[in-house]
Amino acid sequence: MSLEMLTLILGWTTLVNFTLLVVATVILTLFRQPIMAMHRRLLDVDDASLKLLYVYYLSAWKVLVIVFAFTPWITLKIMGY
């Protein structure tokens, strides 16, 4: 695989993951009560813990996308590929 192809793949991976992250954030914001009710029943967790779990989930996803997709992509772009 060439570096140009890797740059292209990482760029699309970054775009798709950040788009999904924004969609997940919007869904968790707009439909908080139904989602929390579902997770309360499934996981037997109180509301305060669920809110914290949602923040951990979104922040971990963001960090993983930045580390494994965005940073390599921007590095390859800076190098001229």
pLDDT tens per residue, range 1-27: 899 999 999 999 999 999 999 999 999
Tell me the pTM. Answer: 0.87
For the chain, domain boundaries = 3-79
pLDDT score recorded for residue 1: 87
Render pLDDT for 29-78 as a digit per residue (tens, 0 to 9): 999 999 999 999 999 999 999 999 999 999 999 999 999 999 999 999 99
pLDDT score recorded for residue 24: 98
State the SS3 of 19-76.
HHHHHHHHHHHHCHHHHHHHHHHHHCCCHHHHHHHHHHHHHHHHHHHHHHHHHHHHHH
CB 39 within 8 A of CB 50: yes
